[in-house]
Structure 1
């Protein structure tokens, strides 16, 4: 079909997190529309590799047009362990990289700057951040070292979570590819295996399909900690004015940021322990 002929004015807005989306009903069928640029080489290679993804029909006016998926959300009763391990192995074989930076791991040098600005503005999280800063900086240094030592960098999905899997009549489909970028294959695989609640089964399937062995280690789940720090950074920046907030929203953001800062040591300890028990 020629996607340029679609009447986008008839599209119905849907909910979104990172990009606007729409449903479009036409005489030729129903389509899913999402803000996005032209197809990339990686997009094409993902489909060729047999990764179960929404079928991309083309782009028009900065909107990507997909076949509509008749499916449902993943539930705790769905065992997708083998599919997930196989999918990750196929995905990680597509675009290997010689090097990468820990873009989504909260590794940056702005923590002291954020503290200074938060203190100047009287943000309620400034006290907890001041008290916890030495431990936080040590955690950031640890995360950076683990990422550097992990190797096996790839271009990948970077948001493989249960809420980004739909169950269809023909099987699971991995959706929401907005976060595609460089990452560590073993760290993403370990993160996903843990997030889906079946570390051993996912790891077995991952290795059987050609993925690297995921061995128990206190460093194995470092990606989850990095994501927590990355989201904390976003919350601190929000409270400092990166986007307009109502008074009640600012209060909520400040409170949650303070709680996250105070919980970092126990969160790190828990995930280091879970990393040691990964395949039990």
Structure 2
């Protein structure tokens, strides 16, 4: 098997055999942030694949290894996608949400950690390169944690992918292929739509958000038979909360200072921390601007 570098949380290999090529994903086992429900996700993937959702064929799943048939395609850059691509992603989400798949595990969210002052102190004591930036943003991170815990989610709750971003997509002849389903589960619809639409409508930062591309995802969702939830900050709380948890997880890996045998390389964890420390406060500060994307131009 050949290692394919660049994964944010797990490790990917390509296996070429006389029966075709396969993507073999080694799941991070040392410091998972949640319980992975391999059988449930695999059943959901099989249903989505059978329904014609454009995705790699799921072959097998265990608690430590996932196998899919390898799909050739172009990587999707972290930049605003085309309106047609965004529209089709919206249609795909509507089709995914219409699947009739049993899902018995409703996650109970724990309170968002508030240990940011302690983490900043540990970062300074261990000479982390981003320690000063983290210390200057402790108050903002505490405010973000409060927002994540108190923001009302209007519903409905849907069984969905939960992780559609450019790095989990391919373009095959210009059309989407949806990868990396292992975070699938139930989620407030507004959180799924807001996270997906914003990810496809912007570049690495927040200076080039394209409201028209954001709206294209929503237009595709409606065209695919979906109904939009009411506008509000709940559209962005899942993205902010997920990024907050991901940043904290990588901070802990950096503080440990050990190159783990699974999960992201230590250097990649440092990059993820710096991105979070700089990007999260900006994202949080732009919530009113982002909510404006939810209003159609003719409204």
Question: How many residues are paired up?
Answer: 261
In structure 1, distance between residues paired with 2:170 and 2:272: 30
Please tell me whether residue 31 in structure 1 is matched to residue 22 in structure 2. yes
Alignment match, 1:139: 144
Task: Tell me which structure has the larger Cα radius of gyration.
Answer: 1
Alignment match, 2:205: none
The change in CA–CA distance for 1:120 and 1:77 in structure 2 (over 3 A counts) is closer
Query: What SS does the corresponding residue of 2:59 show, helix, strand or coil?
Result: strand
Q: How does 1:238-249 map to 2 (within 5 A)?
A: 238-241=253-256, 243-244=258-259
Judge conservation of contact 2:86–2:220 (CA < 8 Å) in 1. yes
TM-score calculated relative to the size of structure 2: 0.69
Q: Displacement, 1:202?
A: 1.0
Aligned-CA RMSD value? 3.7
Please tell me whether residue 208 in structure 1 is matched to residue 213 in structure 2. no
Alignment match, 2:70: 68
- Aligned residue among 231, 244, 250 for 1:229: 244
Query: What SS does the corresponding residue of 1:150 show, helix, strand or coil?
Result: coil
In structure 2, distance between residues paired with 1:47 and 1:273: 36
In structure 1, distance between residues paired with 2:94 and 2:26: 28
Alignment match, 1:269: 285
Q: How does 1:1-280 map to 2 (within 5 A)?
A: 11-15=1-5, 17=7, 18-26=10-18, 28-35=19-26, 40-58=42-60, 63-74=65-76, 76=81, 79-94=84-99, 100-101=107-108, 107-118=112-123, 120-121=125-126, 123=128, 128-146=133-151, 148-169=152-173, 171-197=175-201, 198-241=213-256, 243-244=258-259, 253=270, 257=273, 260-261=276-277, 264-278=280-294, 279-280=296-297
Judge conservation of contact 2:154–2:230 (CA < 8 Å) in 1. no
Moved more, 204-213 or 214-223: 214-223
The change in CA–CA distance for 1:48 and 1:262 in structure 2 (over 3 A counts) is closer
In structure 1, distance between residues paired with 2:243 and 2:62: 36
Q: Deviations over 1:90-126 (max 9, x none)?
A: 22334577954458xx932333442453455465655
Q: Unaligned regions of 5+ residues in structure 1, if any?
A: 1-10
Judge conservation of contact 1:190–1:203 (CA < 8 Å) in 2. no
